[in-house]
Amino acid sequence: MADIKTFGNAQIPIYIQISQDLREMIFNGHYQEGDKIPTEDEIVMKYGVSRMTARNAVTELVNEGLVYRVHGKGVFVTRTKLQRSLNKITGFHEDMIQIGLNPSSKVLKFEKRPPTEKECHKLNIRKMNQVFEMKRVRYIDEVPYGFQELIVPEYLVPDLGSLDLEKESLYSHLKEINKPIKNAEQRMEAVINNEVAEKLGISKNIPFFFFDRTSYLEDGRPVELLHSFFRGDKFSYTINLSD
């Protein structure tokens, strides 16, 4: 492994790259809760780095609460669920890239059609307007993690159809066309959903987080209606609350 690899426009320090490798092995099930991860000595040997670099890589994961150190015994896995923050408005794609994972999508449906009455009301558009409807399965390293149904009004993102929605992020695209999402209302449920489980090819007993989100531009115009199902066995969500 080179000392530095190029990643987007940024160069990533090697201790971060190693922490990403370890994190991925925790989230893909290679290490389970309570398992011991490689020692600093083993990291030094495997990656050919200094002991300080190995230590920094592990400290990254300790700071995230993913692993904990037991003096004289080693470093152990605390949790194996991906953690996403509810304090930020972010999309699946950018969140996963951020922590060094490899997200992708499969588009099950993409069409332009007239809005329903409910969509007219929620998106503040008229019946003569058109909306894009999209259904996507979201993957990390080919493992299905979630399912999303998205409605976007055509007049705000007319070129949505030309975006490669299997690889690109809607939220990044909105930033690029100078229409970043400013705020959102979101409702969360914990549900069992046989139909979604079947789409993902997973057991029907796995609970989902269900999110019903409406997102707005800076000028208050609604830009998306998003229904998301994310696997409860794969994700947890954090929030900082203040009075």
Which position among 83, 129, 130, 172 is part of the footprint of a copy of itself (CB under 8 A)? 83
Which 8-state DSSP code applies to residue 70? E
Q: Which of 28, 87, 98, 102 binds a copy of itself (CB under 8 A)?
A: 87
Among 178, 190, 195, 201, binds a copy of itself (CB under 8 A): 190
Residue count, binding to a copy of itself (CB under 8 A): 32
207 touching a copy of itself, by CB under 8 A: yes
Copy the structure tokens of residue 84.
């996403």
Q: How many residues does the chain have?
A: 243
Residue 57 or 181: the one with the smaller Cβ distance to a copy of itself is 181
Contact call for residues 138 and 59 (beta carbons, < 8 A): no
Cβ-proximal residues to 226 (8 Å cutoff; 6+ apart), any chain: 148, 149, 150, 151, 211, 212, 213, 214, 215
For residue 134, with 0-12 CB atoms within 10 Å meaning exposed, 13-18 middle and 19 or more buried, which class applies? buried
Question: Shortest distance, CB of residue 243 to a copy of itself, whole angstroms?
Answer: 5
Q: What track of x and - describes contact with a copy of itself for positions 160 through 189 (by CB under 8 A)?
A: --------------------xxxxxxxxxx
In the complex, the residues that contact a copy of itself under the rule CB under 8 A are 81, 83, 86-89, 180-192, 205, 207-209, 232, 236-243
